[in-house]
Structure 1
């Protein structure tokens, strides 16, 4: 029997109000989790010009520094994804947060290039599973037709993190120095860990979600069966091409606004609010639209696959386009779209995995997808850094790098359109399991 997107005729038990409130409290904590996560990632970029001057770094070395965050990102995503089926997410997420805090303590004072890289490598290992595990925890509290919305809020948390951090951390760095920003991040991390340990009980439990109006018939299948489905492969391709944009936004966009377009540090920090603000609104809106489509009987192939692919392709077109415009409002609009539409796609795309994969194996699969995405995170800063450093001038280097990135995103979106089909793959998994029973 295959999964359908249409509502059933059977009576449906309404979610208990207390459970529903608890679910949204969990989502609120996960939004804060991703807020801190993205602020931790972004602070080096906000201080990029100052760090390069203080440590005497070239563009290639700064690209290496930003790339180092992703060297063990995949390993962390895989390890903690595997661990999520054995350790409660209450303790796992709190432990990750405290690890993030520990990596920032050495950066409170004078630091060498080697120590800075070492701290970023360890931070990357501990932040590798963050997005996957946050989505896993959110999905466990909601029925299928509301998962994309919950995932949209989690995705928005990442954008809100930088939306708030951009002016705040930039001001702190401008007022004092880049070391001072880590005092704030450390305090935020400790406070969140305490709140999560108090309120985060039962997160990640497979039976936490209330009864759904949509039939869901996922099957407990071996990983080798799950990973061979078009939906998982297609979302992996989409995550890789989409995260390329996210990485460039974190690692290079603040520097590009200053070096490439000539904005001062304070103005660049303010302009960074545009893509992050649009991404936050877009992620929530995209999740709501996807959920409405599913609840109205639209196939998940369209509501999850085609929709998320269209968002990533739109981001790619915008990225290639803004390099062709002169400095001004139209260019800033395309920059905002280029670095926000892909973020809006994340929650929708990962809800397709929740449609196909049972809860007890979802954390590992989401961890694998994060690991694949991290490859682009490791490569993208290096590619752009060497492109800028080896070109006749920085403007030309930035143009070539961003145009190539836009093409990559468009190609990845096209591939995903042909592969992602949750209804088909649930039926396929069921047949393969029954054939081996």
Structure 2
């Protein structure tokens, strides 16, 4: 038996899950949540120390936007390269190697105060983090049958919110006690600890074949990539993720500076407000995962319980994002800020489950990698555009306000487009009707 394979318990009676694999599955979910938590803490660290970086490196808002955009320049390349390895390299070694690369990319900023070193390290970190979502979701989905994937998917993706939630107050405290270099040392050390733990417990799951949900036709073992990647569901989700990832990139890159430079909050208050936006997003991601699961159990179609639900959440987030900067400083403004960011993130866990609903297991990593490479352009463009708007505005807050209005409009339009395109039942029936022996062109 291979070192990374797991002995399965004897088959349980119908309707009952074997206890040991079920416990192991949720252990993997916890480990993958921590993986995504560290992934986004690493992304967020530059934004959280941004004011000190601007001062010490003598850079302006435009150059800071270049640094934050630079993270995504090689992100798509990493996503495609890493996704190619899914299914070819055991998850134990693939995720451990990826996380170790993160650590190596963070280390130079522990001692360097060079703009060039910062930019290069962020570019390499982006390359190393590119395949993270594809690998983590591929592993998580391998541990659960299709009808049970939404909630564990939401937990894993929720790590993207809990990462900055944990990082914001911790890094703020570390910088206040030491300096911004120490923030990179802390995130690198945390990544190294995760690598050691994952090498001890990480494994691939037993779920290898198509969809077993009652509302779907059975997925064939292989669908031509041309059909998969041009299906309405995959295109619609990619559009949706482009907008939500632009929002995530802006929040990671610029929200701490908006709160400090634009609204005048001090560093400690900014850290807690940033943590609030991420924490709320993580909680709502899990909550909407449970809501989607409940709708499915009550007989709702997958389009309604996963597709329409996620699109409505993103469109609503867009409306909040458009208007919160114009409401005036105070509790109402913070409420709309938190709701807008939280709904946007909360939709992602539900939407991600749809990818595996329409993708055969053996092709899942490649499809997710291609989607990541496409929607990551939102992360490339959004920080650059906002930086240019801030530089060209009469005062920084006018630039921030215009930038968030445009971001909100993007989210609203993406939600409306995706709700028309995302039709998983129709797409799966189309795939199932095609010849299972079809060969890619």
> When the two structures are superposed, what TM-score results if normalisation uses the length of structure 1?
0.94
Q: 2:211–2:357: 8 Å Cα contact kept in structure 1?
A: no
Q: Deviations over 1:245-276 (max 9, x none)?
A: 11111000011000010001111001112211
Matched residue, 1:427: 429
Taking a change above 3 Å as real, the CA distance of residues 211 and 234 of structure 1, as seen in their structure-2 partners, is: closer
Taking a change above 3 Å as real, the CA distance of residues 413 and 212 of structure 1, as seen in their structure-2 partners, is: closer
Moved more, 157-166 or 140-149: 140-149
Q: 1:275–1:340: 8 Å Cα contact kept in structure 2?
A: yes
Moved more, 425-434 or 50-59: 425-434
Q: 1:34–1:154: 8 Å Cα contact kept in structure 2?
A: yes
Q: Distance in 1 between matches of 2:153 and 2:189?
A: 26
Matched residue, 1:198: 200
Matched residue, 2:208: 207
Q: 2:224–2:438: 8 Å Cα contact kept in structure 1?
A: no
Unmatched runs of 5 consecutive residues or more in structure 1? 1-10
Q: Distance in 2 between matches of 1:40 and 1:98?
A: 12
Runs of 4+ in 1 over 2 A off after TM superposition: 205-216, 431-437
Q: Is 2:235 the partner of 1:233? A: yes
Q: Distance in 2 between matches of 1:140 and 1:406?
A: 35
Moved more, 83-92 or 57-66: 83-92
Q: 1:216–1:355: 8 Å Cα contact kept in structure 2?
A: no
Tell me the SS of whatever aligns to 1:117: helix
Task: Say which of 329, 336, 361 aligns to 2:363.
Answer: 361
Q: Using the TM superposition, give the Cα deviation of residue 433 of structure 1 relative to its aligned residue in structure 2, in angstroms.
A: 2.9
Q: Distance in 2 between matches of 1:14 and 1:215?
A: 21
Q: 1:12–1:212: 8 Å Cα contact kept in structure 2?
A: no
- Between 1 and 2, higher relative CO (CA 8 Å, sep ≥ 6) is seen in 1
Q: Distance in 2 between matches of 1:435 and 1:81?
A: 24
- How does 1:12-411 map onto structure 2 within 5 Å? 12-203=14-205, 205-207=206-208, 217-219=218-220, 220-411=222-413
Q: Distance in 1 between matches of 2:212 and 2:404?
A: 45
> When the two structures are superposed, what TM-score results if normalisation uses the length of structure 2?
0.93
Q: 1:26–1:138: 8 Å Cα contact kept in structure 2?
A: yes
Q: Deviations over 1:103-124 (max 9, x none)?
A: 1111111331001111000000
Q: Distance in 2 between matches of 1:436 and 1:30?
A: 34
Q: 2:223–2:438: 8 Å Cα contact kept in structure 1?
A: no
Q: Using the TM superposition, give the Cα deviation of residue 197 of structure 1 relative to its aligned residue in structure 2, in angstroms.
A: 1.1
Q: Deviations over 1:280-330 (max 9, x none)?
A: 110001111111212222111111111000111111111011022010000
Tell me the SS of whatever aligns to 2:317: helix
Unmatched runs of 5 consecutive residues or more in structure 2? 1-12
